[in-house]
């Protein structure tokens, strides 16, 4: 039963979802980048023409991924990981700066963004590490090693690109699935909540609320469980964190980052400057109504009001031209894809492929969450592409590789004896 055709046992549902998203993505890129004078859809000078080329190039790439022996990915996970890190470090020397971010290698006419591919290599090594039978995430040492695996690329990426770095934080969900104690998540979510609360309302007030909660918890708990020292320490940490938010906000964040947070919360935002992108994005989506303005009929899209519409803001075209109904369709496809991957992951026979599948689902989901939330003012503006949808060779290739490695592992599970 060995060496069957590459299509044997692969999960067609995932593939259909993938194809649907890529096609819908291209249609929206076409609309968003259509010049006044129509040209051939294969016109390589146009953005939509290039995207067609990228899509075509993806096919052999996928075939290669599906053909390679699934064992390779586990075996050489560490090698891939190191290559990834080297490619990130290389940016400091050979990197090309586009729009203020040095995330790119320039190869001939095309540019390549290594951080897109590092997601795959990190996922592989993390999967490999966690699948080791001796590793137990209840142990602090193992936790630490896991954090190092995901942390090193995260920090390297953070130096150029906050958005992609944020995506890596999602790997905590994978660790949690594999046994990381809950308090990591609780602490993390609490910190995020406190951060925004401290920005929104007076820090003293936040601290007062925290003090009341801790006191109540202390007084209401059973006498034997009371630990005044622990309660005090928790309070001091929280208070310190809360007060440091202002300091971080004022002294650490750069002005454009501050602007993005202001735009999210502020009422007094200049819609012509720092608020322009978000405002135009919301106008595009908000004016779509139930069924949208129709394919190629979006006035916001045609008029080029939304900047970077074919890349990070591609979903605004969906919202404007396809309306609420179209947006629901696209969102549903994504959600089905995520849940399908998680379902497949849970059914893997090896821990390695399960963790890897989980990483794939998490990465895709984090992109989806951050990308769409920033368009509708649920999250500060952070530039990350929408998987399979946004224009760009690097991201399409990288997401395809990421996904199809998992499809290959899944197809291969019958051989895992």
For tokens 């939330």, what's the residue? 373
User: Interface mask (CB under 8 A) for other proteins, residues 312-331, using x and -?
Assistant: -------xx--xx--xx--x
What is the separation of C-alpha 262 from the centre of its chain, rounded to a whole number of angstroms? Answer: 22
Distance of alpha carbon 171 from alpha carbon 360, whole angstroms: 10
Which of the ranges 81-89, 160-168, 257-265, 356-364 carries the binding residues for other proteins, by CB under 8 A? 356-364
For tokens 């989901």, what's the residue? 365
Q: Which of residues 275-294 bind other proteins (CB under 8 A)?
A: 280, 282-290
Confirm if 261 and 199 have CB atoms less than 8 A apart: yes
Confirm if 191 and 242 have CB atoms less than 8 A apart: no
Distance of alpha carbon 111 from alpha carbon 118, whole angstroms: 16
Query: Closest separation between CB of residue 300 and other proteins, Å?
Result: 6
Query: Closest separation between CB of residue 343 and other proteins, Å?
Result: 9
Cβ closest to other proteins, residue 63 vs residue 339? 339
Query: Closest separation between CB of residue 114 and other proteins, Å?
Result: 27
Give the CA distances from residue 257 to residues 110, 247, 380, in Å, rounded to whole numbers and listed in that order: 29, 14, 9
Total interface residues for other proteins by CB under 8 A: 43
**Among 194, 361, 382, 407, interactor with other proteins by CB under 8 A:** 361
Query: Closest separation between CB of residue 126 and other proteins, Å?
Result: 15
Helices (H), 268-416: 276-286, 299-302, 314-317, 323-346, 351-375, 393-411
**Among 73, 305, 388, 406, interactor with other proteins by CB under 8 A:** 305
Cβ closest to other proteins, residue 183 vs residue 417? 183
Give the CA distances from residue 310 to residues 212, 304, 306, 349, 392, in Å, rounded to whole numbers and listed in that order: 49, 10, 9, 39, 9
Which residues make Cβ contacts (< 8 Å) with residue 266, sequence separation at least 6?
A: none
Under the binding rule (CB under 8 A), the answer on residue 339 touching other proteins is: yes
**Among 102, 262, 338, 413, interactor with other proteins by CB under 8 A:** 338
Q: Which of residues 375-394 bind other proteins (CB under 8 A)?
A: 376, 378
Distance of alpha carbon 207 from alpha carbon 216, whole angstroms: 14
User: Interface mask (CB under 8 A) for other proteins, residues 170-209, using x and -?
Assistant: ---x--xx-x------------------------------
CA angle 313, 58, 390 (to 5 degrees): 0
Query: Closest separation between CB of residue 298 and other proteins, Å?
Result: 9
Query: Closest separation between CB of residue 176 and other proteins, Å?
Result: 6
What is the separation of C-alpha 375 from the centre of its chain, rounded to a whole number of angstroms? Answer: 14
- Footprint of other proteins on this chain (CB under 8 A)? 36, 173, 176-177, 179, 280, 282-290, 297, 299-300, 302-305, 319-320, 323-324, 327-328, 331, 335, 338-339, 342, 346, 358, 361-362, 365, 369, 372-373, 376, 378
């Amino acid at each position: 039963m060995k060496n069957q055709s590459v299509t044997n046992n692969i999960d067609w549902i995932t593939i259909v979802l993938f194809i649907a998203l890529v096609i819908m993505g291209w249609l929206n890129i076409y609309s968003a980048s259509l010049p006044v004078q129509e040209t051939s859809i294969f016109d390589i000078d146009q953005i939509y023409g290039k995207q067609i080329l990228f899509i075509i190039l993806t096919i052999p790439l996928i075939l290669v991924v599906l053909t390679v022996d699934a064992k390779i990915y586990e075996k050489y996970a560490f090698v891939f990981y190191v290559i990834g890190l080297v490619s990130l470090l290389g940016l400091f020397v050979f990197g090309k700066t586009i729009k203020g971010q040095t995330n790119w290698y320039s190869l001939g006419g095309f540019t390549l963004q290594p951080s897109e591919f590092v997601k795959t290599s990190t996922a592989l090594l993390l999967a490999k590490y966690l699948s080791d039978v001796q590793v137990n995430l209840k142990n602090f040492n193992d936790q630490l090693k896991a954090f190092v695996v995901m942390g090193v690329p995260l920090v390297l990426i953070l130096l150029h690109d906050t958005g992609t770095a944020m995506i890596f934080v999602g790997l905590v969900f994978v660790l949690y699935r594999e046994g990381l104690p809950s308090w990591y998540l609780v602490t993390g979510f609490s910190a995020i909540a406190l951060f925004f609360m401290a920005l929104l309302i007076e820090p003293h007030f936040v601290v007062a609320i925290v003090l009341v909660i801790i006191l109540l918890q202390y007084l209401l708990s059973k006498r034997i469980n009371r630990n005044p020292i622990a309660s005090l320490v928790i309070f001091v940490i929280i208070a310190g964190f809360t007060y440091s938010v202002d300091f971080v906000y004022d002294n650490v964040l750069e002005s454009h980052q501050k602007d993005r947070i202001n735009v999210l919360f502020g009422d007094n935002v200049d819609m012509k400057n720092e608020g322009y992108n978000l405002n135009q994005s919301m106008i595009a989506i908000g004016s779509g109504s139930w069924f949208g303005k129709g394919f190629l009929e979006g006035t916001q899209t045609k008029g080029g009001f939304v900047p970077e519409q074919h890349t990070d803001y591609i979903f605004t075209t969906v919202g404007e031209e396809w309306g609420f109904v179209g947006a629901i369709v696209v969102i549903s496809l994504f959600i089905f894809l995520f849940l399908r991957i998680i379902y497949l992951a849970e059914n893997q026979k090896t821990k390695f492929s399960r963790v890897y599948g989980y990483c794939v689902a998490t990465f895709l989901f984090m992109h989806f969450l951050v990308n769409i939330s920033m368009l509708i003012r649920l999250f500060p503006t952070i530039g990350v592409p929408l998987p399979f949808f946004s224009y760009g060779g690097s991201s399409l290739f990288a997401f395809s590789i990421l996904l199809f490695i998992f499809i290959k592992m899944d197809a291969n599970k019958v051989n895992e004896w």
